[in-house]
Amino acid sequence: MTTTATYPVEGMTCEHCVRAVTTELGGLPGVQRVRVDLATGTAEVVSDAPLPFDAVQAAVDEAGYEVKAIA
């Protein structure tokens, strides 16, 4: 059983941004897969269980970007 959630990520403008966000989100406990879309400014995260939103926000903040709310 997995959970998929999509988050809007603000501030990403190049593939290096995408890489940074992907790496940080991928390091969260239980995360199985991360797919960041630069064109739409979203991050799709597949995880074992629903992720605490504050943990997702913290990870994206750590990468240098911002999650506003769940899309």
Binding mask 9-48 for ligand 9UX (x = CB under 6 A): ----xx-xx-------------------------------
Q: Min. distance of Cβ 8 from ligand 9UX in angstroms?
A: 16
55 φψ region: left (φ > 0), alpha (ψ -120 to 50), beta (else):
alpha
> Helix or strand or coil: residue 38?
coil
Q: Min. distance of Cβ 48 from ligand 9UX in angstroms?
A: 29
Q: Min. distance of Cβ 33 from ligand 9UX in angstroms?
A: 22
Alpha-carbon distance of 2 to 66, in angstroms, equals 24
